[in-house]
């Protein structure tokens, strides 16, 4: 059980009408609009700034920034700038970079580094951001023990890096590890999970998904809301992000649960 209220975010890499998407997410009651960090999407800092300019309540963030692509000081500079330009609505999401992010780093002419080096760089990035913009909430996407340990000690929000087909039992096992690493800090952490699809048919690239897959929600808004309440009670997950392709279909769930 957690005391954290529900929050909901939409993850979007690009859109033909980016300003319209940001305004629509705000109108539908989403708490955040989040931008990934790949060469196939908009530049996250630029996209966040554009969204901030056309919204007033919506919080904006990265989901998640690959620390291999920028120096810690560069991230801190961008973060401090966006915090000010957005009126304090910016949230920084950080990750050590999935294996496929190595291609983007190479395209940018940057070394990807070993897993250990990237975890150390993530820690250095948090230090740099804390010095430049210490009041910006930090989300860390984590799956392995080294990242979970860092997130347990330094993050405000931990986004569980589990695949869409993961079952609740597998998520619970990951949370047990986080609990052991975080100790007394565990109950202060906001726990987040991403939905690849909700209220719509899963995209074909996900492949076959069993009925226990946590990355997809099916059924009526009331049924989906019940599943999320149960997961919060059992797992403590209160921050739910969803692919922006499901923005409209998932909005009734947001209306039922946001802030509760």
pLDDT of residue 148: 97
Query: 7-257: which CATH architecture?
Result: Alpha-Beta Barrel (3.20)
Mean pLDDT of 125-132: 97
Share of the chain above pLDDT 70, in %: 100
- Residue 207 pLDDT > 80: no
Contact 61, 93 (CB under 8 A): yes
Confidence grade of residue 142 (pLDDT, cut at 50, 70, 90):
very high
- Residue 41 pLDDT > 80: yes
pTM to 2 decimals? 0.95
- Residue 208 pLDDT > 80: no
Mean pLDDT of 87-115: 90
Mean pLDDT of 140-155: 97
pLDDT of residue 1: 61
Q: Which residue would you say has higher pLDDT here, 32 or 204?
A: 32
Q: Which of 32-36, 195-199, 237-241, 252-256 is predicted least confidently?
A: 195-199
64 preceded by a cis bond (ω within 30 of 0): yes
- Residue 32 pLDDT > 90: yes
Mean pLDDT across the chain, nearest whole number?
94
pLDDT of residue 71: 95
Mean pLDDT of 165-170: 94
pLDDT of residue 201: 79
pLDDT in tens, 65-85: 999 999 999 999 999 999 999
pLDDT of residue 16: 96
Residue found by looking up tokens 């919506």 in the block: 58
pLDDT of residue 232: 97
pLDDT of residue 101: 83
């Amino acid at each position: 059980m957690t005391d954290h209220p529900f929050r909901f975010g939409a993850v979007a890499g690009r859109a033909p009408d980016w300003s319209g998407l940001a305004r629509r997410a705000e109108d539908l009651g989403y708490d955040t609009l989040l931008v990934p960090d790949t060469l196939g999407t908009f530049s996250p800092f630029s996209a966040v700034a554009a969204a901030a300019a056309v919204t007033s309540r919506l919080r904006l963030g990265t989901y998640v920034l690959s620390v291999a692509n920028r120096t810690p000081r560069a991230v801190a500079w961008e973060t401090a700038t966006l915090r000010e330009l957005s009126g304090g609505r910016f949230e920084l999401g950080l990750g050590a970079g999935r294996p496929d992010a190595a291609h983007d780093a190479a395209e940018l002419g940057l070394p990807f580094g070993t897993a250990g080096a990237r975890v150390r760089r993530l820690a250095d990035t948090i230090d740099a951001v804390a010095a430049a913009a210490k009041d910006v909430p930090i989300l860390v996407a984590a799956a392995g023990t080294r990242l979970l340990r860092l997130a347990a000690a330094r993050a405000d929000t931990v986004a569980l890096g589990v695949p869409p087909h993961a079952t609740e039992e597998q998520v619970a096992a990951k949370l047990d590890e986080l609990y052991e690493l975080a100790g007394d800090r565990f109950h202060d952490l906001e726990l987040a999970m991403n939905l690849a699809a909700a209220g719509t048919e899963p995209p074909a690239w996900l492949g076959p998904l069993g009925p226990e897959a946590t990355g997809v929600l099916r059924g009526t808004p009331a049924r989906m809301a019940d599943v999320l309440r149960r997961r919060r009670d059992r797992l403590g997950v209160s921050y739910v992000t969803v692919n922006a392709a499901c923005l409209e279909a998932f909005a009734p769930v947001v209306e039922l649960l946001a802030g509760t």
